[in-house]
């Protein structure tokens, strides 16, 4: 009887230890996967619309209080500036400022940056002669900020409706990197393969991603491998 009881106790201890090891392993893997993604902060799908008859601005918060992306629309014009920072990829001089329309995969840091403000924003679309966003379709705004820890770069993906729709548009999503971390237009995590330059799709995490995440760390890693394969085919 003592031998059987001892075996049962040993089995219970072994099973308990196995569960503890498995739980610790999963937690370690999940923590590691989070740290791998920590260098780039992705908004997720935003889908904020600026209708043809909308006049005003909308702000989108970044990590530091007071730092936000600001998009505006009114009288068939579309424009952009930042709160807490003011540099974006663009062209122009003095008060005649224009936001560049980047393609997916372009390096955000590799270009000229313009400083703007709410009084003198960067124009995207409208009646001005040098705007880059009058045609319908998807493009990327590149921006730069410095919250005290160093220069950070980011992008915002925008779909324009075109002049026939009073240059209405939609903010699809955005992302920004930690200081010193490079980022390309459309890149959503530091371990994501570099997006193909020239592609301007609206693709976000696929519908099955929530199912993968529900499976824990192993499911998350499997989803990432699947997304990497899909990205290489885009």
**Residue 229 included in any domain:** no
The CA-based diameter of the chain, rounded to the nearest angstrom, is 93
Range of the domain at 113: 41-177
Residues 6+ apart with CB under 8 A from 124: 78, 79, 80, 98, 99, 101, 131, 132, 133, 141, 158, 160, 167, 169
More confident residue, 119 or 153: 153
**Residue 138 included in any domain:** yes
Determine which helix (DSSP H) or strand (DSSP E) holds 203, and give its type and residue range: none
**Residue 189 included in any domain:** no
pLDDT, mean over the chain: 76
Tokens of 105: 């995969």
Residue 142: what pLDDT? 97
Determine which helix (DSSP H) or strand (DSSP E) holds 227, and give its type and residue range: helix 217-233
More confident residue, 11 or 133: 133
Average of pLDDT values for 201-227?
43
**Residue 202 included in any domain:** no
Instruction: State pTM to two decimals.
Output: 0.70
Quote the number of domains for the chain.
1
Q: Is the pLDDT at 24 greater than 60, yes or no?
A: no
- For 127-172, the pLDDT digits (tens) are 998 999 999 999 999 999 987 888 999 999 999 999 999 999 999 9
**Residue 55 included in any domain:** yes
**Residue 95 included in any domain:** yes
Residue 196: what pLDDT? 61
**Residue 28 included in any domain:** no
**Residue 211 included in any domain:** no
Quickly state the pLDDT bin for 198 (edges 50, 70, 90). Answer: low
Quickly state the pLDDT bin for 85 (edges 50, 70, 90). Answer: confident
What is the percent of the chain with per-residue pLDDT over 90, rounded to a whole number? Answer: 52
Q: Is the pLDDT at 227 greater than 60, yes or no?
A: no
More confident residue, 178 or 148: 178
Quickly state the pLDDT bin for 47 (edges 50, 70, 90). Answer: very high
Average of pLDDT values for 16-40?
44
Average of pLDDT values for 88-114?
93
Average of pLDDT values for 21-33?
38
Among the listed residues 126, 153, 129, the one whose alpha carbon sits nearest the alpha carbon of residue 39: 153
Average of pLDDT values for 8-17?
45
Q: Note the residue count of the chain.
A: 234
Residue 164: what pLDDT? 94
């Amino acid at each position: 009887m003592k031998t059987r009881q001892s075996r049962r106790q040993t089995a219970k201890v072994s099973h308990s230890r196995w569960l503890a090891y498995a739980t610790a392993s999963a937690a370690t893997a999940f923590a590691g996967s989070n740290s791998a993604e920590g260098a780039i902060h992705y908004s997720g799908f935003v889908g904020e619309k600026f209708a043809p008859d909308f006049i005003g601005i909308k702000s989108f918060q970044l990590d530091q209080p007071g730092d936000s992306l600001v998009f505006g629309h009114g009288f068939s014009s579309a424009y952009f500036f930042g709160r807490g920072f003011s540099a974006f990829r663009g062209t122009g001089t003095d008060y005649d400022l224009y936001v560049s329309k980047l393609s997916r995969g372009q390096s955000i840091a590799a270009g000229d940056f313009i400083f703007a403000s709410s009084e003198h924003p960067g124009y995207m679309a409208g009646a001005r002669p040098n705007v880059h966003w009058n045609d319908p379709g998807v493009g990327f705004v590149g921006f730069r900020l410095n919250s005290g820890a160093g220069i950070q770069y980011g992008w915002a993906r925008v779909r324009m409706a075109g002049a026939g729709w009073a240059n209405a548009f939609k903010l699809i999503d955005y992302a920004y990197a930690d200081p010193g971390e490079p980022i390309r237009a459309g890149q959503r995590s530091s371990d994501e393969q570099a997006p193909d330059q020239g592609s301007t799709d609206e693709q976000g995490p696929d519908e099955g991603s929530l199912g993968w995440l529900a499976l824990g760390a192993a499911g998350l890693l499997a989803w990432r491998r699947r997304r990497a394969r899909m990205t290489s085919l885009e």
